[in-house]
Chain A
Amino acid sequence: MDFENGSVKLTLDGETLWAHIRGEIDHHSAKSIREAIDTLLASSAPEALILELSGVTFMDSSGLGLVLGRYTKATEAGIAFSVTGATERITKMFDMAGLDRIIDYKERNTSK
């Protein structure tokens, strides 16, 4: 059975903070991912925060909470927020939660 506990790798690229999340995001793993992002978000004060989700293999409503929570935090601090790399499965979750009204997670530049 291949499952990997959710984890995050953070990289600061100029004024942009990238959070590459991978593995399974549930209530158990969300806590440390949240803390890691929030700590660097506060100390580096970037202009933008991007959650990169292409390595996420599972997400439930705790993942929705994680994304929405970071959206709220960033927006309140005047930091631009975006999500990239959402798989078909994650897009299904986001759609169900009505996230498309506040966050743009659908890749526009699909070839052509």
Chain B
Amino acid sequence: MKKNCENAMKAEFPSLSQNEALARALVSSFVMQLNPTVSELADIKCAVSEAVTNCIVHAYRDTVGTVYLSLKSYSDRSVKIEIKDRGCGIEDIASAMQPMFTTDREGERSGLGFTVMESFCDKLRVTSKPKKGTKVTLTKSLSRLCAN
């Protein structure tokens, strides 16, 4: 089935922790146009929060850099969300994506961000180059609209 991109939006913001809530609010507003269920919207907000937080705490650990957010919605009611940084990158993506894997030294991170993204979305793709940056692509298909 051919699917057309129906709407799109881009945003970029500095990697400051107060922008985690901002990113969730932006994505919510965008997805809201498609009438998602409460649980679909909560899944998307949570997955986006994980990816954006990772840019802030890992990619730009000791600096402030730019986080790039791109949103697209398609005629088949799928939503594609890209979260990109030009930070430190990931050496070994497969290990990083394992549940409980974390490079955090302060000890309050549980290493479950990728696990959350994977279980709350239909597709998760991670590409990364050490010292260049990381791109996380989340895809979620929303259920059919029911007449109400």
Contacts and interface: CB of A to CB of B under 8 A. Distances in A.
Interface of A: 1, 3, 5, 24, 26-28, 30-31, 34, 58-62, 64-66, 68-69, 89, 93, 96-97
Contacts of A30: 108
Given A26-B53, A34-B108, A97-B110, A61 B21 contact: no
B46 interface: yes
Contact of B50 (A34, A60, A66, A96): A60
Contact of A66 (B20, B29, B108): B108
Interface of B: 17-18, 20-21, 24-25, 28-29, 39, 42, 45-46, 49-50, 53, 56-57, 107-110, 112-113, 115-116, 119
A97 B113 CA distance: 10
A3 B21 contact: yes
Given A61-B109, A61-B116, 12 more contacts: A3-B21, A26-B21, A26-B24, A28-B21, A31-B17, A34-B108, A58-B42, A58-B45, A59-B46, A60-B46, A89-B42, A97-B110
Give chain B's interface secondary structure class.
Answer: helix
B110 A61 contact: yes
Nearest to A69: B108
Given A27-B56, A27-B57, A89-B42, A60 B116 contact: yes
Nearest to B32: A1
Contacts of A58: 24, 42, 45-46, 49
B113 A24 contact: no
Highest count of chain A CB atoms <10 Å: which of B24, B57, B108, B115: B108
Given A58-B45, A96-B115, A96-B116, A28 B110 contact: no
